[in-house]
């Protein structure tokens, strides 16, 4: 689901989005994501994965077009999310000279699908 959302929003895997961190970040707008999950199920069979996903959007300058595209893609994926998605207030990271906005959402993934 993470790849589908970010690719649909116009990001390229390992170029403008990556899991955990970029050792050398791109100079353009990019996303770092975290996908935490736990296994759940009944009768001692862990058939469900409950994901908690965080997108960290980094922008050298505010890019309204990228934001609109990402948020539209999140809206399009709303039906698969547990309780929609959340957006934190954008803030400036002075030491990095970059803006950061954090998005979070949760979803279930069934084993075998």
CATH classification of the domain holding 73: 3.30.2000
Written as tens digits, the pLDDT of the chain (113 aa) is: 999 999 999 999 999 999 999 999 999 999 999 999 999 888 888 889 999 999 999 999 999 999 999 999 999 999 999 999 999 999 999 999 999 999 999 999 987 55
Number of domains composing the chain = 1
Instruction: Write down the pTM of the prediction.
Output: 0.92
Closest of 3, 9, 7, 1 to residue 68, by C-alpha: 9
Q: Which domain holds residue 18?
A: 2-110
Distance CA 15, CA 30 (A): 8
Q: Are the CB atoms for 103 and 54 separated by under 8 Å?
A: yes
């Amino acid at each position: 689901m993470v790849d589908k959302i970010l690719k649909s929003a116009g990001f390229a895997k390992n170029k403008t989005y990556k899991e955990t961190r970029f050792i050398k970040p791109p100079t353009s707008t990019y996303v770092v994501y975290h996908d935490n999950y736990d296994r759940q199920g009944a009768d001692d069979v862990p058939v469900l994965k409950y994901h908690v996903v965080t997108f960290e959007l980094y922008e050298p300058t505010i890019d309204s077009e990228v934001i609109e595209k990402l948020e539209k893609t999140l809206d399009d994926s709303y039906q698969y999310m547990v309780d929609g998605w959340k957006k934190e207030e954008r803030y400036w990271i002075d030491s990095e000279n970059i803006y950061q906005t954090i998005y979070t959402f949760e979803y279930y993934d069934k084993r075998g699908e």
